[in-house]
Structure 1
Amino acid sequence: MPRGLQLVFIAIALVVIGVLLFYIWRQSRILSEHRLRQRKTEEFQARRRQEMVESIRLVAMAVEAKQVEYSEACLRLKGLLEHVEPELLEDPKYRVFQQVHDKISHMPTHRARLNTDSETLRKLDEERFAVEEEHADEIREAAALIRHHPFN
């Protein structure tokens, strides 16, 4: 094989090697950036979950100390548990949060309450207080249990 042809093949091989090295380097960077984003996402989700667990415990303590209305506590606990461990809402010990939520979820809250006439609000509040009274013991027991629940 002529010497010139050998040099051409060597040059082509070096160009191919260079292109492959560039491709490998680029893929490596993309992979490391993906891993970094994934790790940050997992850390964020873990931190968010821990904050929700702390919120569950705080609401449960507020129930035990009678610092919050039971209906509001059930709404909050149901929402938090849906994100943290939704299967607990099916557990008989904690099902009361779902039951109370279902009974009062049609009632207006926040701004919607401001736009509702006082007579309707009075009737809805009576209904809400009746639900709270009906489930008060269950709510207190469930709050005490959920406060000490070992969230995984």
Structure 2
Amino acid sequence: MPRGLQLVFIAIALVVIGVLLVYIWRQSRLLSEQRLREKKTQEFQARRRDEMVESIRVIAMAVEADQVEYSEACLRLKGLLEHVAPELLEKPPFRVFQQVHDKISHMPTHRARKKTDSETLTQLDQERYEVEQEFAEEIREAATTLRHYRFD
């Protein structure tokens, strides 16, 4: 094989090797960036979960100290538990949060409550108070159990 043709093949091989090295380097960088993003996402989700668990404990303590309306606590605890440990909403004693939520979820809150006439609000509040009284003992028991529950 002529010497010139050998040099052409060597040059082509060097160019291919160079292109492959650049490709490998870029892929490696992209992979490192992806791993870093995944790590940050996992850290964020873990921090968010820890904050939700802390919120659950604070609300449970507020229930135990009668510092919050039971209906409000049930709505908030149900929402937090759906994200942290949804299986608990199906188990006693925590099932009460779902039960109370189901009974009062039709009631207006926030802006919708402000737009509702006072007579309707009085009726809805009476209904809510009755639900709270019906489940009061179960709610307190569930809150105490929840405050000491180990979320792993």
| TM-score scaled by length of structure 1 | 0.99
- What is the aligned partner in structure 1 of residue 32 from structure 2? 32
Taking only the aligned residue pairs, the percentage that are identical comes to 80
- What is the aligned partner in structure 1 of residue 150 from structure 2? 150
- What is the aligned partner in structure 2 of residue 140 from structure 1? 140
Alpha-carbon distance, 1:81 to partner: 0.1
Distance 1:110 1:128 in 2: 15
Any idea what SS the aligned residue of 2:81 has? helix
Residue 3 in 1 paired to residue 3 in 2?
yes
- What is the aligned partner in structure 2 of residue 123 from structure 1? 123
- What is the aligned partner in structure 2 of residue 62 from structure 1? 62
Residue 73 in 1 paired to residue 46 in 2?
no
1:122 counterpart letter in structure 2: T
Alpha-carbon distance, 1:2 to partner: 1.1
Distance 1:93 1:114 in 2: 33
Any idea what SS the aligned residue of 1:68 has? coil
Distance 2:72 2:65 in 1: 14
2:75 counterpart letter in structure 1: L
Listed one character per residue, the Cα deviations across residues 99-143 of structure 1 (whole Å, up to 9, x for unaligned) are 000000000011111000000000000000000000000000000
Residue 103 in 1 paired to residue 103 in 2?
yes
> Which blocks of at least 5 consecutive residues in structure 2 are unaligned?
none
Residue 22 in 1 paired to residue 16 in 2?
no
2:103 counterpart letter in structure 1: K
> Which blocks of at least 5 consecutive residues in structure 1 are unaligned?
none
| TM-score scaled by length of structure 2 | 0.99
1:151 counterpart letter in structure 2: F
Listed one character per residue, the Cα deviations across residues 28-56 of structure 1 (whole Å, up to 9, x for unaligned) are 01100100110000000000000000000
Alpha-carbon distance, 1:17 to partner: 0.2
Alpha-carbon distance, 1:73 to partner: 0.1
